[in-house]
Structure 1
Amino acid sequence: MEETYDIVIVGAGVSGISAAYRVQTMLPDKSFVVLEKREQMGGTWDIFKFPGVRSDTDLIGYGFPFAPWREEHLIANGGEILDYIRQTAATHNIDKKIRFKHAVSKAEWFSDDKKWKLTVSTDDGPLSLHARYVMWASGFFDHAQGFPAVIPGIENFTGTVIHPQFWPEDLDYTDKRVVIIGSGATAVTLLPAMVESAAHVTMLQRSPSFVLTVPTREPENQFMERYLPAWLSSRLIRWKHLIIARLLVEVCLRFPNFARNLMRKVTTKLLPPHIPHDPHFEPRYNMWEQRVCLTPDGEFFKALHTKKASIVTDTIKTVSPTGIELDSGNRLDADIIVTATGLKIQLFGGAPVIVDGMPVQLHEKYVWNGTMLQDLPNTSLLIGYTAFFWTPGADMMGRLAIRLIQMMDQKGVQSVTPRVDKTKELKPTPLINLSSTYFKASAAYMPTSGDRGPWRRRVGYFEDWWKVKYGNLTEELVFE
């Protein structure tokens, strides 16, 4: 079977639902379909089932711009976010455009036809779809496996070893000794969620992270919602959160010593007397050189006060059958080890991409305006912001792709391709400006940004908004 669409969107998580809304409202005359390899929509929020799974940013900024988050609490759990995604898709009839259990296994571009051919695996056998334009909303990580951190001797452990990405729904950790290896957002979420039932929960970290307390309710938001029309209050509240988030990041990056000293004062006040600030909360990096972990209403610090939770900063010598031996000589007894060591980065949903018979090597390509890849026609990656809110960034890249399609229609052309101007020097820079271990590990696989023009790394929401609305999108772009 073969079918042809103007636009194919790959993935039905927040990025895919956002892109589908933009396509059907801004390109109403275009045919499109959403392909989702899982049995239901939701992406990350349908995959992760670990205790306490929640957003690590507020839902005002993380939510869809066209479907404002209406609940009073700003930090939502995974189930609430999943319901929100599904309700948004149903409200706008996007759910009728989604084909579930349709996994793209290969993407091929044919210049003669000016179309993509997507080989799709389904329960009924392989399917070929042709698309004039493909939007990849398949996320940023591998759904099949987590980051393969090397933990010496882990094979010796006789208890239960779990990666949060693959949490068993029937796991009973009541009265168990749990060691969480990691210091990121997942570990900071897991510890307070597990401490009530477990005998003891220890967060074992090689290097500390910044942990910032955020409120789950903001009275000024409720005031605006009460006294202003819904269309106005939702816009004001959203812009407030976007602006404050941007200011916070800029202050931290521009004045790192000030930010570090302020965090030290705030964190020290929240810690129980038996847990010192150093070395457990003194990261080796400055704020927002890696993601800052958020804890709603200080739940992480409250868990540490119970004395059923502890934090250890050390390195692993080896894992024994009943616990973890540390390089300091100390030992952590454990019944369960949780490897919250990060995610495995992946683009295009892991599908090989081929242009006119030649496989594309992603690490050899530059990224044009944060969304298209050098020499790849008629395709966009819908990637969000990794330092803060994901959804606004992915939504902006979807809108940029739509503007390109509109330009193609105006020019009467069939393809648009980013091409590097060989007469101008272009130096590679990292696509993602974060120093987390699993981001560093993906460097050999990932495409890169450049140091000039449209190849520069994205700056933020407001710059992207201006670019999408008014920017010149023809620089080093070839229309055919």
Structure 2
Amino acid sequence: MDNKDNDFDVLIVGAGISGIGMAAHMEEMCPGKRYAILERRDNLGGTWDLFRYPGVRSDSDMHTLGFIFEPWRHEKSIADGPAILDYLHRIVDERGIRENIRFGMCVETADFDSASARWIVTVVTGEGERKRLTANWLYLGSGYYDYDEPYDPGFELGEFAGKVVHPQFWPEDLAYDGKNVVVIGSGATAVTIVPSMAKHAAKVTMLQRTPTWMFSRPARDGMANTLRKILPERVAYKITRWKNVLLQDVAFKRAQTRPEKVKDFLTKKMRENLGDKYDAAAFTPPYDPWDQRLCLVPDADLFEAIKSGKADVVTGRIARFAKDGVVLEDGREIPADILVTATGLKLAVAGKIAVSVDGEPVDFAQRFYYKGCMFSNLPNLAVVFGYLNASWTLRADLNAEYVCEVLNLMDEKGADIAVPALSQAEENALEEDDIFDFSSGYIQRSKAIMPRNAVSFPWRLNQDYRVDRKQMKRDPIDDGILHFKGVSHAPDDHAAPAPSSTARSPT
């Protein structure tokens, strides 16, 4: 490849929501910048292309999971996977983004060369060939979980003779008509799969070790659909988006301040939906609402499946797997032809890319978040880790807009490097905070690899979109913490040299 094909202003990793969002912001805010999106798969969409299990859908409303710049036009606010993919495909085609996506490119390493202010990125193609690309900025939209390996709870399947599948790797040809299915797990994935499979299976049992708080709402947003008929599309979308942001925020904060009231409310609604099928033991978790993420049940589909007798929820611990079922510690046996292990995800940092600066490996667990976007003393790199208590895209939009503003300010200053500077003395003075105040297993299992979090902004990954939005708008880009620096360039030297083995400070 000649230089114009392997050197860029910005390399974006991942063609999912985060990566496409960054590209769209660049098209609007940095039209002169050259960028490429590196996508390891053969299709765009990230999570929405990877997950193919029955009923796959959003568990956030699409007026907030959708982008701030692109209205959601479908009648259903809680959308299925194919509708979300249609939305993403329309955006990349209408905004000229598709031509900048390079499929089948898995990023293996990324080393920042301080002398040239270039990221030297090694990618492996689908054919196993290694290529080297360079860029001034690296934007990681690679998601938050391991695409190759889901969480393995270590089940010993023993003599089980049926089919075992994990939702992350759903086989296209799985036949389950008339079969007994046991879905192990009680999170969002299980709550989605059970009612969908129950339409065709003989019986679907959701086997949970611990109950989950659930709430039901219509898949269609009546207010959004009404506003779209009487107002310009973008105005209607903006109103609905902010209405839903406020509702999410109020609900989350009420759960924190008055958990018993929220428990009573959720329990009342589940009783109403389930009638005489309501079992307190199966629907009363031992933790407060929003200590873990609430599970959405659109149009009460899970509850309807339970009432019809096609699905049920069983609480218990697995003792062993028999040839044709699951035996619990209390002696109960659940017949199973198919086991679905919806046991959760395995988190990953930076898409498992080996990141380094001047050949010195970067340990993200030793870096502080900066504005929920960059990291202490790590130059020209940004990442997206969405909200746990709200839609992922809310932060993806914030971060993309912020990075575009940083890039434009760098041009104004003639700077090649932007780095959030944190001295050792300043770091020692920071009061650390729990990065994720959630008790969910996938969160707790991964805390050791997560970056550090301070109590106060800007050295934190916050969980309050409205606060973040105000601060990102209010605080200047040139805040005295983000340091800008130029480097000496020989003519046409953007093809960066090989990484040095000697570590040098980017500041």
Determine which of 475, 482, 501 is the counterpart of 1:477.
Answer: 482
Q: Tell whether the 8 Å contact from 2:271 to 2:278 is kept in structure 1 after alignment.
A: no
Equivalents in 1 of 2:138, 2:256: separation in Å?
35
- Please state how far the C-alpha of 1:219 moved relative to its aligned partner: 2.7
- 1:123-158: CA deviation from partner (whole Å, max 9, x where unpaired): 46221111101110111111111112222x224322
Determine which of 216, 228, 238 is the counterpart of 1:235.
Answer: 238
Matched with 1:406 is 408
Equivalents in 1 of 2:259, 2:481: separation in Å?
36
Equivalents in 1 of 2:275, 2:180: separation in Å?
21
Moved more, 183-192 or 55-64: 55-64
Instruction: Kindly report structure 1 stretches of 4+ aligned residues shifted beyond 4 Å.
Output: none
Matched with 1:364 is 366
Matched with 1:450 is 454
Equivalents in 2 of 1:155, 1:433: separation in Å?
37
Letter in 1 for 2:433: T
Matched with 1:127 is 131
Q: Tell whether the 8 Å contact from 1:291 to 1:388 is kept in structure 2 after alignment.
A: no
Matched with 1:267 is 270
Determine which of 320, 323, 331 is the counterpart of 1:321.
Answer: 323
- 1:405-456: CA deviation from partner (whole Å, max 9, x where unpaired): 2222232221112232433412333333322101111111111211233113
Listed as ranges, the gaps of 5+ residues in structure 1 are none
Matched with 1:306 is 308
Secondary structure in structure 1 of the residue aligned to 2:433: coil
Matched with 1:20 is 23
Secondary structure in structure 2 of the residue aligned to 1:9: strand
Equivalents in 1 of 2:310, 2:237: separation in Å?
41
Letter in 2 for 1:221: A
Q: Tell whether the 8 Å contact from 1:382 to 1:395 is kept in structure 2 after alignment.
A: no
Moved more, 162-171 or 457-466: 457-466
Letter in 1 for 2:473: K
Determine which of 94, 97, 100 is the counterpart of 2:100.
Answer: 97
TM alignment of 1:149-160, pairs within 5 A: 149-151=153-155, 153-160=156-163
- 1:149-203: CA deviation from partner (whole Å, max 9, x where unpaired): 222x224322111100101010001111111110001000111001121111110
| 2:386 aligned with 1:381 | no
Matched with 1:71 is 74
Secondary structure in structure 1 of the residue aligned to 2:448: coil
Secondary structure in structure 2 of the residue aligned to 1:280: helix
Letter in 2 for 1:35: L
Q: Tell whether the 8 Å contact from 1:421 to 1:476 is kept in structure 2 after alignment.
A: no
- Please state how far the C-alpha of 1:475 moved relative to its aligned partner: 4.8
- 1:232-281: CA deviation from partner (whole Å, max 9, x where unpaired): 212112211112121111111221111011111111111141441x2111
Moved more, 462-471 or 279-288: 462-471
- Please state how far the C-alpha of 1:10 moved relative to its aligned partner: 0.7
Equivalents in 2 of 1:196, 1:391: separation in Å?
31
Equivalents in 2 of 1:122, 1:139: separation in Å?
20
TM alignment of 1:43-442, pairs within 5 A: 43-123=46-126, 125-151=129-155, 153-276=156-279, 278-424=280-426, 425-442=429-446
Equivalents in 1 of 2:430, 2:154: separation in Å?
35
| 2:483 aligned with 1:463 | no
Letter in 1 for 2:475: G
- Please state how far the C-alpha of 1:214 moved relative to its aligned partner: 1.0
Listed as ranges, the gaps of 5+ residues in structure 2 are 486-507
Q: Tell whether the 8 Å contact from 2:27 to 2:95 is kept in structure 1 after alignment.
A: no
Moved more, 72-81 or 116-125: 116-125
Equivalents in 2 of 1:272, 1:311: separation in Å?
15
Alignment length (residue pairs) = 478
Letter in 2 for 1:471: D
- 1:320-351: CA deviation from partner (whole Å, max 9, x where unpaired): 23221212221212111111011111122211
- Please state how far the C-alpha of 1:26 moved relative to its aligned partner: 0.5
Letter in 1 for 2:16: G
Moved more, 247-256 or 5-14: 247-256
Q: 1:402 to 1:155 in 2, by over 3 A?
A: farther
Equivalents in 1 of 2:158, 2:459: separation in Å?
44
Equivalents in 2 of 1:155, 1:378: separation in Å?
50
Equivalents in 2 of 1:146, 1:382: separation in Å?
20
Q: Tell whether the 8 Å contact from 1:383 to 1:397 is kept in structure 2 after alignment.
A: no
Quote the sequence identity (%). 37
Equivalents in 1 of 2:275, 2:175: separation in Å?
28
Q: Tell whether the 8 Å contact from 1:384 to 1:395 is kept in structure 2 after alignment.
A: no
Equivalents in 1 of 2:145, 2:310: separation in Å?
33
Moved more, 454-463 or 259-268: 454-463
Q: Tell whether the 8 Å contact from 1:385 to 1:394 is kept in structure 2 after alignment.
A: no
Secondary structure in structure 2 of the residue aligned to 1:223: helix
Equivalents in 1 of 2:59, 2:417: separation in Å?
38
Letter in 2 for 1:218: D
Equivalents in 2 of 1:421, 1:155: separation in Å?
54
TM-score for the superposition, normalised by structure 2: 0.91
